[in-house]
Structure 1
Amino acid sequence: MAFLLAGLLAVAAFAQDLPPDAAAGSLKGRPYSPYADRGFPTQVFFGDTHVHSALSADAGGGGTTLMPRDMYRFARGEQVTSNTGQPVKLSRPFDFYMLTEHTDGMGVITDIIRGAPNIMSDPDGKRFHDAFAKGGDDAKEASIELIAKFSQGTLSQALLYQPGTSGYDNTWRDLVQAAEEFNTPHVFTAMIAYEWTSLVAGDNLHRNVIFRDGPERALQVVPFLMSPPAGSADPRDLWKWMQAYEDKTGGDVLAIPHNPNLSNGRMFAPNDTFRDGEAFDVEYLKTRQTWERLLEIQQTKGDSETHLLISPTDEFADYETWDWANLDVSAANADAMIPYEYARGILKEGIRFEAEQGVNPYKLGFVGGSDIHTGLTTGDDANFFGAFTWMEPSATRATTVAKGNVALDISYKGWQYATPGPTAVWATENTRAGIFDAMERREVYSTTGPRITVRFFGGSFAPEDVHTRELARVGYTKGVPMGSDLIAPEDGTAPSFLVYALRDPIGANLDRVQIIKGWVDPATGDTREQVYDVVWSDGREPGADGKLPDVGNTVDLTIPSWTNDIGAPELGTVWTDPDFDPNVHAFYYARVIEIPTPRWTAYDAVRFGVDMPSEVKMITRERAYTSPIWFTPSTD
């Protein structure tokens, strides 16, 4: 891609081809100031890569009134009034923000709500206008119906605004202009972005498309959409649009798939569902690898790291799991779909493709995104304003049925939505270029809410390396960062990994750091995985089964709160894979687990004085996921 850093493509043994200052082996002969002349990323920035205002039909139709400029003010730390009239403010501003309005029907919801003549002359349009005007449950049900009709391809063409119409084009121009108004380099970065809203029979194939560029390039195009005649549901056509954009403007763009857990196995299917199930060819694998370098691993509609059917021995696998149906609840989920719906299974499938066809299309770094449709990204459990306007704080939101399908006997409630976490990027500066380049080289990670700081390097490290306070210099000098490739030396030496995590300054202590490994067994062709506890708090010793004793629980649900009497504020180590095979492709990523803390439902119970049903989860184990590092045998 246009600005992909060359350092990621020039890995020799365990050393990345970085500027000379990063390759210095000692302090001798260097400037006395250890911070002078550094050429590697030293700052971590937190932001949201996926959020909606009232301009998205499923937000505005459901009662959201906050518009893009309201959202930017909120994201940079100002207090605003929520869609239900409640004051709301973040504990800390975001460093960057990406407003990703749905492409299909862009601009139509404002016309539906105001009752534009072209809308009122269409039966679907008038019916939706009347329902949205009533508000409350009528608006909520109408919003769900709108999504369902769009998902199944039965929505009136009059409600599918196309590029070239004033509603569509004017909305895009205003979105770009709003981002430009609030973009303040080095202080608050407002990226230009949109959400390509592809659905096939209700199966989610959405991608968020992120621009590196400003309006001078972004306004040379309009977003690609799903609906014909201008759009397509096939990701191949999105990638063609992306290539055409870069060719035309000289800009740079990337796509981020999200919610594979709502795709019923289609988003990362093992064969081509758009070509009658035929096998993917190498050109497809390479093209996908080029444009899709990241995966949104968690958001308010569930966590997509792993599942108990993929990782039955992983005690932390069943976390905020959504596994009952596709996006519009029109088709139930099945066990056979699960490996293609969660990051760990998807990464293993990528290793399989590489072993069989020489290309890994799923070298995916991890980002977080809220997918909040209130205009309010609130990821703190004590400050959660819900995924939709009907979910803003109230005594009944946790037990309200969100969506369901009576025929399939499937439904879910408000309490099953999760507080979403931010994306964290390791960048040289807080600018559009700095944030984008970090994402493109996959030097990013996701948390489920807290602002945990994590560094993860693979290379050739000594145990004492973790004790330096110039951890990054050691990491870049002797290895590669998260998101990179490792190439083995010819002597077959096992790689070592340097990992360090620091708790959120206003959050909970850390329980442990784990490294997850995945590979394909060359003898059987089966995918394998292993979870290693590599460093932990409180001097615990693993039991006979190799498992660590539980860290404990200080949560008091009557307040609700917790104490940091257990856990550790920071954890770090150098770890070497004890089961390393120099002839086997593998991936490694770090997972950081916090001590138990109250979930958002616990705060609701106390603040509204309600007794939650026993099914409602009240305690959570927040976490962070680093982007993987991929090991490649030297003989390849």
Structure 2
Amino acid sequence: MIPTVRRALAGSAILALAAAFPAAAQQDGGDAGSLTSGKLAPLYGKPVYSPYADRQFPTRPFFGDTHLHTAYSMDAGAAGARLSPADAYRFASGEQITSSTGQPVKLSRPLDFLVVADHSDNMGFFPKLLAGDPAMLADPTGRKWYNLIKSGKGMEAALDIINTFSAGQFPPKLLSMPGTRSYASAWQTTIKAAEDANDPGTFTAFIGYEWTSNTGGNNLHRNVIYRDGGDLARQVEPMVTLKPYGSDDPRALWKWLEAYEAKTGGDVLAIAHNGNLSNGRMFPWVESFTGKPIDAAYAEGRARWEPLYEATQTKGDGETHPFLSPNDEFADFESWDKGNLNLTEAKTDAMLEFEYVRSALKNGLKFAPELGTNPYKFGLIGSTDAHTGLPAVAEENFFGKVSSMEPNPDRTKRPFMQHGDLKIMEWEVGAAGYAAVWATENTRAAIFDAMERRETYATTGSRMVVRFFGGWDFVPADAESRLPADAGYTRGVPMGGDLAPGPEGRAPSFLVAALRDPIGANLDRIQIVKGWLDSTGETHETVHDVAWSDADSRQPGADGKLPPVGSTVDVAAATWTNTIGEPELITVWTDPDFDPAQPAFYYVRVLEIPTPRWTAHDAKFYGLTLGPEVRTTIQERAYTSPIWYTPG
């Protein structure tokens, strides 16, 4: 198929396509109503000239980070972070600040929203330790950590703090947990920072925290995000993992979320992340806490409270893995697959199926008929998980995972983490990512509601615009319209939605478009990833190239694979040119292998042309010679939330 490709249209069609109404289910053959020029508008009772009048739907994506740590997280503080939640919000909203290592830093463009998600366990512990609280220094362990930090060995202190806490050996006198004065003070400071920074219509500062289940070093972390303001959030202190104050079982977190809403009338959700470091526990068939297969209650709880999954961040990309997707040439991207979070348990191939987005989505199709609910029916976002107070993850502006990794000439040479023979180098840390949310306005309520309906996508740091609709009667002309969003909404559902049953004998079609980041790289291709369940209960996947640059001369080979786009990267100069690729791609694609009896999902992956990785920028800036193992180029990408099809 020759894809429909737009060239040099300045993004007008894509921004129009961006205006997709948040529909929960498709209205097959529905009337466009006031969404299309020339239809009757309810306020006037007659045709109106402006095609934009009375629109009630998103017209742009908002870019943000739902996962940022400051000095109020004990590991971040020990590793050198000195920025407060208030500092983080100032930086994210566009202000230039001084980093924890004394360097001036500013974003290329402000973010639209931010969640400071400091660890709920021991929140506020580190500021007291750093200040030399006498009670903390009276404890031998507290004194040891204090001395390490003051002698410049903060990362060593951070790892020891994390491992001591995970092992349940944290000295009781050093704890700052719910019910204590120090904890209440830290939580109030976190809330106040978000309330002071929140500027509806301009910048959204969410209240939130990270619940950090890490039993045995196996990552089951969740970020908790509030739709609410401080009047509700301060009524209940956060959930922690340390017993007897809390629990490390996700079911217990879901009960906490439910209890919070019942008490306050508020609205919260949770976002899991880094399944790649869970060693097979993030998307289980058998729960690690019970040793039994997940049941209907687990499926219902997870589907209710976790509408999104963080698919990419600094600690590795989580879309898929080459072992799971051997026919996908783009599967091995920023992979962290050596072990669990603290490298105390090596990775095995058998674990991978229960760690990655694509395999979880496939297993969700398999589990749904047995459990009555699909536990893994989630949308996708990216975020940073930076422990610096700085959501700075552009390749040329990467301020590291932790403050000890802020720009310096040694960060491409040092181990980031090591346990026995397992080691992750600092150069393996990725500069990623961001959450893109299609919301009606830049407010807590609108962005949160879009998250709940999964109208979101993940990026690895780029701010490309991506739109995705599924329906039953899209036609190629819909990709030529100057207002394609009208077709997208009136005859389909957006990313995160469900296809209604279609007409007999018809396959679903998809209207998909992407626009490059205005200060970033051109686009290589748009792909639609399909997963499905066959009649024997086996799952399958396939990746379709549906639109690509240079389509007149660049065609799939005999193996069905599209030739690489090429590269203009000058590694030594840490630059590239947009002389290849396209600024905009848009097409309509119909599934050629659709079987109405098979449950399926579809999501979009958009790839940019190659660009210099942050390591290349470091090499140029510091005059470094990098080893051959160090990756110096990258193809940034985006992943949309899926659209699901269920027979009947």
Same-fold call, TM cutoff 0.5: yes
1:370 to 373, 384, 391: 384
Cα 1:117–1:233 change in 2 (3 A) is same
Residue aligning to 2:4: none
Once the 2 structures are TM-superposed, how far is the Cα of residue 526 of structure 1 from its aligned partner? Answer: 2.1
Once the 2 structures are TM-superposed, how far is the Cα of residue 326 of structure 1 from its aligned partner? Answer: 0.7
Once the 2 structures are TM-superposed, how far is the Cα of residue 605 of structure 1 from its aligned partner? Answer: 0.6
Residue aligning to 1:519: 532
Residue aligning to 1:168: 183
1:109-124 equivalences in 2 (<5 Å): 109-124=126-141
Deviations 1:151-171 (A, max 9, x none): 232222333322110111110
- Partner of 2:412, secondary structure, is helix
1:387-426 equivalences in 2 (<5 Å): 387-406=401-420, 409-426=421-438
| Structure 1 outlier segments of 4+, above 3 Å | 6-15, 22-30
Indicate whether 1:102 and 2:119 are aligned. yes
- Partner of 1:575, secondary structure, is strand
Indicate whether 1:615 and 2:632 are aligned. no
Once the 2 structures are TM-superposed, how far is the Cα of residue 348 of structure 1 from its aligned partner? Answer: 0.7
Separation (CA, whole Å) in 1 of partners of 2:587 and 2:447: 28
Q: Given residue 517 of structure 2, which amino acid in structure 1 is its aligned partner?
A: D
2:171 to 153, 156, 159: 156
Q: Given residue 312 of structure 1, which amino acid in structure 2 is its aligned partner?
A: P
Separation (CA, whole Å) in 1 of partners of 2:32 and 2:110: 32
Indicate whether 1:253 and 2:268 are aligned. yes
Residue aligning to 2:603: 589
1:476-515 equivalences in 2 (<5 Å): 476-515=489-528
- Partner of 2:461, secondary structure, is coil
Deviations 1:100-127 (A, max 9, x none): 0000011111111122133123222221
Deviations 1:219-266 (A, max 9, x none): 111100101112000111111111111111111000000100011011
Residue aligning to 1:334: 348
Deviations 1:137-187 (A, max 9, x none): x22111111112222322223333221101111100110011000100000
Cα 1:238–1:24 change in 2 (3 A) is farther
Kindly indicate whether the alpha-carbon contact (under 8 Å) linking 1:303 and 1:322 is maintained by their aligned counterparts in 2.
yes
Residue aligning to 1:62: 79
Residue aligning to 2:298: 284
- Partner of 2:353, secondary structure, is helix
Residue aligning to 1:565: 579
Once the 2 structures are TM-superposed, how far is the Cα of residue 474 of structure 1 from its aligned partner? Answer: 1.4
Separation (CA, whole Å) in 2 of partners of 1:145 and 1:107: 17
Residue aligning to 1:350: 364
Separation (CA, whole Å) in 1 of partners of 2:38 and 2:262: 41
Q: Given residue 77 of structure 2, which amino acid in structure 1 is its aligned partner?
A: G
Cα 1:254–1:163 change in 2 (3 A) is same
Kindly indicate whether the alpha-carbon contact (under 8 Å) linking 1:515 and 1:532 is maintained by their aligned counterparts in 2.
yes
Indicate whether 1:273 and 2:288 are aligned. yes
Separation (CA, whole Å) in 2 of partners of 1:516 and 1:463: 20
Deviations 1:566-608 (A, max 9, x none): 1000001000101101011111000000000000000111110
Deviations 1:253-308 (A, max 9, x none): 00000100011011211112211x21222122111100011000000000000000
Residue aligning to 1:41: 58
Residue aligning to 2:95: 78
Once the 2 structures are TM-superposed, how far is the Cα of residue 27 of structure 1 from its aligned partner? Answer: 8.3
Kindly indicate whether the alpha-carbon contact (under 8 Å) linking 2:26 and 2:492 is maintained by their aligned counterparts in 1.
no
Once the 2 structures are TM-superposed, how far is the Cα of residue 358 of structure 1 from its aligned partner? Answer: 2.8
Once the 2 structures are TM-superposed, how far is the Cα of residue 193 of structure 1 from its aligned partner? Answer: 0.6
- Partner of 1:305, secondary structure, is coil
Separation (CA, whole Å) in 1 of partners of 2:167 and 2:475: 56
Separation (CA, whole Å) in 2 of partners of 1:124 and 1:232: 24
Once the 2 structures are TM-superposed, how far is the Cα of residue 490 of structure 1 from its aligned partner? Answer: 4.9
The worse-fitting range, judged by mean Cα deviation, of 489-498 and 54-63 is 489-498
Cα 1:82–1:467 change in 2 (3 A) is same
What are the ranges of 5 or more consecutive residues in structure 2 without an aligned counterpart? 1-20
Once the 2 structures are TM-superposed, how far is the Cα of residue 489 of structure 1 from its aligned partner? Answer: 2.2
Indicate whether 1:467 and 2:484 are aligned. no
Kindly indicate whether the alpha-carbon contact (under 8 Å) linking 2:27 and 2:492 is maintained by their aligned counterparts in 1.
no
Separation (CA, whole Å) in 2 of partners of 1:562 and 1:73: 31
Residue aligning to 2:373: 359
Residue aligning to 2:11: none
Deviations 1:317-361 (A, max 9, x none): 000000111111111111001011110011111111113333101
Q: Given residue 424 of structure 1, which amino acid in structure 2 is its aligned partner?
A: A
Indicate whether 1:537 and 2:549 are aligned. yes
Separation (CA, whole Å) in 1 of partners of 2:135 and 2:482: 64
2:470 to 448, 455, 458: 458
Q: Given residue 103 of structure 2, which amino acid in structure 1 is its aligned partner?
A: Q
Q: Given residue 631 of structure 2, which amino acid in structure 1 is its aligned partner?
A: K
TM-score of the superposition, structure 2-length normalised? 0.93
Kindly indicate whether the alpha-carbon contact (under 8 Å) linking 1:23 and 1:476 is maintained by their aligned counterparts in 2.
no
Separation (CA, whole Å) in 1 of partners of 2:475 and 2:245: 56
Residue aligning to 1:443: 455
Kindly indicate whether the alpha-carbon contact (under 8 Å) linking 1:541 and 1:548 is maintained by their aligned counterparts in 2.
yes
Once the 2 structures are TM-superposed, how far is the Cα of residue 20 of structure 1 from its aligned partner? Answer: 4.5
Q: Given residue 416 of structure 2, which amino acid in structure 1 is its aligned partner?
A: A
Percent identity, aligned pairs only? 55
Q: Given residue 383 of structure 2, which amino acid in structure 1 is its aligned partner?
A: G
- Partner of 2:191, secondary structure, is helix
Separation (CA, whole Å) in 1 of partners of 2:301 and 2:183: 29
The worse-fitting range, judged by mean Cα deviation, of 463-472 and 49-58 is 463-472
Separation (CA, whole Å) in 2 of partners of 1:604 and 1:550: 26
Kindly indicate whether the alpha-carbon contact (under 8 Å) linking 1:458 and 1:479 is maintained by their aligned counterparts in 2.
yes
Q: Given residue 465 of structure 1, which amino acid in structure 2 is its aligned partner?
A: D
1:575-586 equivalences in 2 (<5 Å): 575-586=589-600
Once the 2 structures are TM-superposed, how far is the Cα of residue 31 of structure 1 from its aligned partner? Answer: 2.0
Q: Given residue 68 of structure 2, which amino acid in structure 1 is its aligned partner?
A: V
Once the 2 structures are TM-superposed, how far is the Cα of residue 560 of structure 1 from its aligned partner? Answer: 1.4
Separation (CA, whole Å) in 1 of partners of 2:338 and 2:453: 34
- Partner of 2:380, secondary structure, is strand
Q: Given residue 178 of structure 1, which amino acid in structure 2 is its aligned partner?
A: A
1:303-342 equivalences in 2 (<5 Å): 303-342=317-356
Separation (CA, whole Å) in 1 of partners of 2:477 and 2:123: 55
Once the 2 structures are TM-superposed, how far is the Cα of residue 8 of structure 1 from its aligned partner? Answer: 5.0
Separation (CA, whole Å) in 1 of partners of 2:487 and 2:375: 30
Separation (CA, whole Å) in 2 of partners of 1:535 and 1:9: 27
Cα 1:294–1:25 change in 2 (3 A) is farther
Q: Given residue 230 of structure 2, which amino acid in structure 1 is its aligned partner?
A: P
Q: Given residue 113 of structure 1, which amino acid in structure 2 is its aligned partner?
A: L
Separation (CA, whole Å) in 1 of partners of 2:224 and 2:254: 10
What are the ranges of 5 or more consecutive residues in structure 1 without an aligned counterpart? 1-5
Cα 1:19–1:132 change in 2 (3 A) is farther
Once the 2 structures are TM-superposed, how far is the Cα of residue 492 of structure 1 from its aligned partner? Answer: 4.1
Indicate whether 1:180 and 2:192 are aligned. no
- Partner of 2:100, secondary structure, is coil
Separation (CA, whole Å) in 2 of partners of 1:54 and 1:14: 53
Q: Given residue 92 of structure 1, which amino acid in structure 2 is its aligned partner?
A: R
Length, aligned pairs only: 621
- Partner of 2:205, secondary structure, is strand
Q: Given residue 260 of structure 1, which amino acid in structure 2 is its aligned partner?
A: G
Once the 2 structures are TM-superposed, how far is the Cα of residue 417 of structure 1 from its aligned partner? Answer: 0.4
Cα 1:398–1:292 change in 2 (3 A) is same
Separation (CA, whole Å) in 1 of partners of 2:505 and 2:270: 36
Aligned-residue Cα RMSD (Å) equals 1.7
TM-score of the superposition, structure 1-length normalised? 0.95
Residue aligning to 1:429: 441
